Amino acid sequence: MSVFELEYTVCILQRDAFSFAAKSHRQENGNPQLEIDINTNDVTWTLTNLDGGVPETIAGTPQADRVDFYFTRDYLKENHSHFPAPNAQRNISLKLSPTNSSGTERKEGKRVRIAQPIFRFYPVDSVRLTVNKTPTFEAHANNAYLHLDIETGPAKYYGSEIFEVHFGIEADYIVTPLQGSGSSQAQLVMSHEMYATILEELKWIQ
């Protein structure tokens, strides 16, 4: 397993009675991390240290589900070569044209400033968000899209805007009661070809 420092993670699952919003930012004393495991049949990315989940009642607000994570561009440029080597060749058919995700994190949320859309990748075989805060639940999705782009990080943290490499998961989640216990985390499972394809694109981020 290889572990990398994320700058920011945000996981939002909203349903009729509650909203779980787990946010961890390195500039707010968080320690979000990405763990990468190369397995025999697939590759697993796990987002850990998802802090600050707060359930709340939502009324009159559209459903908004998102699992997003960010590297600073400088960190990724320095560390992408340390990602585990893939066990397959890239497959360009797994890359789709990007979409422009400029907008808000959620209603009345901050604006998202896209500096450079890159690609969407499909399919991510499965996504699992485990929430060990009341109300505990699991959220599962199959055949998810993984968006990759470059966004701007806010000047309030860094003195001036910086660039961040953003991964965002687009999926239709099925929410079920949590089976067992453990820390909150988000997990992506992808093929070796998908992992190799993503890794190839990260080489060109400057």
Provide the residue-wise pLDDT of the chain in tens; the chain has 206 residues: 999 999 999 998 887 777 788 889 999 999 999 999 999 999 999 999 987 666 666 666 666 788 999 999 999 999 999 999 999 999 999 998 877 655 544 444 454 566 677 889 999 999 999 988 877 889 999 999 999 999 888 888 899 989 999 999 999 999 888 877 778 899 999 999 999 999 999 988 87
Q: CA–CA separation, 187 vs 98, rounded Å?
A: 22
Which residues, 6 or more positions from 115, have their beta carbon under 8 angstroms from its beta carbon?
A: 149, 150, 151, 152, 163
Q: Return the exposure string of 124-139: e unless at least 16 CB atoms fall within 10 Å of the residue's CB, then b.
A: bbbbbbbbbeeebbbb
User: pTM for the complete prediction?
Assistant: 0.89
Q: CA–CA separation, 53 vs 23, rounded Å?
A: 7
